[in-house]
Structure 1
Amino acid sequence: MKNGVKKSLVLLTTVLLLSACGGNAGKSATDGSGKENKTEKQSSRVLNLMEASEIGSMDTIFTQDEPSVNAQSNVFEGLYQLDEKDKIIPATAKELPEISEDGKTYTIKLREDAKWSNGDSVTAKDFVFAWKKMADPKNQANYFFLMDGTILNGTEIVNEEKSADELGVKALDDYTLEIQMEKPVPYFTSLLAFSPFFPQNEKFVTEKGKAYGTSSENIVSNGPFLMENWDQSSMSWDLVQNPEYYDADKVKSEKIHFEVLKETNTAFNLYESGELDVAVLTGDFAKQNKDNPDYEAIQRSKVYSLRMNQKRNDKPSIFANENVRKAIAYALDKKSLVENILADGSTDIYGYIPKDFVANPETGEDFRKEAGDLVKTDEKLANEYLDKAKKELNGDVTIELLSKDGDGDKKVAEFIQGQLEKALPGLKINVKTVPLNNSIELMRNSDYELSVSMWGPDYQDPMTFLESSVSSKNKTSYRSEKFDQLIDDASNKYANDPEKRWETLIAAEKVLVEEDVALIPLYQQARGQLVRPGVEGIQYHNFGATCTYKYAYITE
């Protein structure tokens, strides 16, 4: 592939079955006229929320998990942010970018009143520093592949053919940022609202070294909140108002408290006792509360899938065998999983691009509807593939399934284990349960066979799901010249032909999911939750961070 990355990349494939944003999406800090509602200026009542896992890191280039992205997107602020309808709006930038006619030069003016929490001004140099740090392969940033084929020289830098100092971004002055692009990228402005593109204070980051982003004391931030009482082992933390934030008078809560709650019954009991204001529910608890007036289910664009690692410890794994992959794919009863185990409104999915996420640029037809269902459950066909695999492998098939230790994670893993072993006689699945950070490390090192993983879109385009599976970028040792060429064509050959690009992306998904069965889509997430009356202003997003809390509060 022309824009291939030669080095292994660390992908965001961690299992986060539930994130813990609150309810009442779309409510903001204004009244219906758009004017600030002075009666709701600020709430001194602590808003109590939950996360299903610990935070992996607060260094924005080492984003590992959904709780980290959520925290980073409320403690830091980039050039742009999403409003309650997922529209890109200025944040640290004064206005939307000025883009040259050829689409290759972005000029962005920064607001001059943005400050770091230590009192330093936020300048264009802070963005240049952070982006070069992300692009440099030696840092192994999780999202350095986003530089490939976007910012000028990004491809050569991630391929170690040029220095990170040659990245096509520079500060024209303290408050003017210029970005040179390798080619026009229609979704690039939306990427600038995503946490890996946030700024970093070079002096502070350099001073802290490897300790940066590992605890509250090792963070300097520029967003609406400061983080307190947190380190990487913390099971609770606080977001408190940042007095240096330029828009501090719009921040609705003085303090938001988070608890890591891995057991659904614990979350429910804390909600019932008044100690938790939003409780995320799954399974029986979701079923039992469907008629509760506090209950809501919100459809998301996050897709959970089974990742099958084809090479482990530099040796072919069980999933190097195509018939094993296809046996698992056709045997899975996804509908039973979402109806009987999750029961939170999540839907079974038969493709990697979620429904109601992106539409055909010419016809407006939803991608999922136009692309259709791929690999529908067929137990008979699954057993035919397993029989072929047994002959090729000279015996029964044994698989290790990696799972995080959260309540929801374990239940999903146990369902997959039991359902597949019943549907496929001769198949044995052993579940390996580990804490979040252990799971991250195992997947980073490709030291696993099978894992339930989540991909949340970074920007609103099918490429956000597909591009990370090209041969040079995935961490499952999947290799496909056909898939790589289709992605390259969509990125380059058809970049300015929206309809042909669309058709190419549909073809690429079919190769990935049906022809090669490189991964197995499981379900499109919905979040079932109880939301206490009086909780207002938490905004949900369908790409980038899941939630923002700038306008969130609970009435006294």
Structure 2
Amino acid sequence: MPNKILLAVSLSLLLLAGCDLGPSNIESATARQILHLGNGTEPKDLDPHTVTGVPEHNIISALFEGLISVDPATLTPQPAVAESWLISNDGKRYTFTLRDNANWSNGDPVTADDFVWSWQRMLSPALASEYAYQLFTVKNAQAFNHGELQDFSQVGVKAINSKTLVVELENPTPYFLSLLAHYSTYAVHPPTILAFGDRDQAGTLWTRPGNLVGNGPFTLDSWRLNYIIRVKKNPQYWDHQTVRLNEILFYPIDSALTEERMFRTGVLHATSSTPLDKIASYQTNDPDKISIDPYLGTYYYRLNVTEKPLDDVRVRRALSMSIDRQAITDSITKGGQIPAFTFTPPNTQGYFANNNSIRYDLAQAKQ
């Protein structure tokens, strides 16, 4: 089994203003409700069914919306495109009612058929979506994705009418609603996909400015490679009246040093890329500009346990006991990370792993 190392945290620098080129523009950008964000590396694409990275996720979350969202504080499922849902007594049948005012950015209504079409696309073996497993709890979804079933009508997702979607699961899955908050399960606009290629064709031009049709709170305005991606408020979004921002500018920046400097000099409102040697300085000198929050991610070693000596559980246990996770978080990473003794972070939606985890004990490890 892998040795767990650290529980990751989300580290952000937040400046409650924004700008284009420097401090003189900060108040102007804020007054215009324009947010400037450091976004890590250049996104590979903006197709919800094919991308896997955090930079892509950040932008897709602005451009698209799924059936469900989650409360950021409690992770409780919240209505999104689906205004309500019913769960059968056996926990295997979900009936979603879509909002009458849920529209695509071109004005087309978002329909239950759009979700059926999109889930068939996401599960298509030809598309090879790395997140296809997000829907494997749906009846026959895994078999279809693995090519064992050719007829998608046998997969447990049906449009009863334009605003009613029924999903049948293989087994009761209490966390199914939370899965639907992941961007890989979002619907895409079928006519737009087909205008630039086949349903299961990846990497076409449908995700480019002027082509992309989404259903999220923002629309794609411009994409200047390796410079900036600009999104603007979507007037067709069902909840557009509560969207405060007029624009978001995402800056693809490969270097954490560069991104932190852009934040420090007033080019960015916020960054999640902070060099470790800068953290202490912010905590001491600018504590109001730094926020350290829990993040669901675990760093670990993945070991080949079929080869000697790692095929011996006693060796693996000794290795795990020899790692001082607390010392690593206190003296090396210094970013508020939490030592991880189980793969699932503590208090994940109320779940705590048992107390049989392996703690640091060098003397015992040597035995």
Band the TM-score falls in, shorter-chain normalisation? 0.7 to 0.9
Q: Give 1:93's match in structure 2, choosing from 82, 88, 95.
A: 82
**CA shift for structure 1 position 380:** 8.1
Cα pair distance change 1:329/1:67, threshold 3 Å? farther
Contact 2:341 2:357 in 1 (8 A): yes
Mapped to 1, the partners of 2:31 and 2:11 lie a distance apart of 20
Equivalent position of 1:151 in the other structure: 138
- CA displacement 1:83-128 (0-9 Å, x = unmatched): 3433322111122x11222222211111122111222211111100
SS at match of 1:61: coil
- CA displacement 1:309-364 (0-9 Å, x = unmatched): 749xxxx8x7995368667645544334322333221122121111232335xxxx
**CA shift for structure 1 position 268:** 3.3
Q: Which TM-score applies when normalising by structure 2?
A: 0.80
Contact 2:37 2:271 in 1 (8 A): yes
**CA shift for structure 1 position 204:** 1.0
**CA shift for structure 1 position 143:** 1.7
The answer as to 2:260 corresponding to 1:268 is yes
Matches within 5 A, 1:237-256: 237-256=229-248
Mapped to 2, the partners of 1:217 and 1:337 lie a distance apart of 48
SS at match of 1:94: strand
- The structure with higher relative contact order (CA 8 Å, sep 6+) is 2
**CA shift for structure 1 position 285:** 0.7
SS at match of 1:290: helix
Mapped to 2, the partners of 1:57 and 1:327 lie a distance apart of 43
Moved over 4 A (4+): 17-24, 318-321, 323-333
In proportion to residue count, which structure has more helix?
1
Equivalent position of 1:371 in the other structure: 355
Matches within 5 A, 1:134-533: 134-148=122-136, 150-163=137-150, 164-209=152-197, 210=202, 211-212=204-205, 214-230=207-223, 234-280=226-272, 281-291=274-284, 292-308=286-302, 310=304, 321-322=310-311, 329-359=320-350, 367-368=352-353, 370-374=354-358, 376=360, 378=362, 381=365
Contact 2:134 2:185 in 1 (8 A): no
Contact 1:113 1:246 in 2 (8 A): yes
Segments of structure 2 that go 5 or more residues without pairing to the other structure are 1-7, 16-29
Mapped to 1, the partners of 2:234 and 2:12 lie a distance apart of 20
AA of the residue aligned to 1:216: P
Mapped to 2, the partners of 1:118 and 1:327 lie a distance apart of 60
The answer as to 2:109 corresponding to 1:124 is no
Mapped to 1, the partners of 2:283 and 2:187 lie a distance apart of 42
Mapped to 2, the partners of 1:339 and 1:320 lie a distance apart of 31
- CA displacement 1:137-159 (0-9 Å, x = unmatched): 332211212333x2111232234
Mapped to 2, the partners of 1:260 and 1:319 lie a distance apart of 43
**CA shift for structure 1 position 287:** 0.9
Contact 1:117 1:220 in 2 (8 A): yes
Contact 1:297 1:345 in 2 (8 A): no
Cα pair distance change 1:234/1:195, threshold 3 Å? same
Mapped to 2, the partners of 1:20 and 1:221 lie a distance apart of 29
Contact 1:22 1:49 in 2 (8 A): no
Mapped to 2, the partners of 1:57 and 1:335 lie a distance apart of 38
Cα pair distance change 1:21/1:358, threshold 3 Å? same
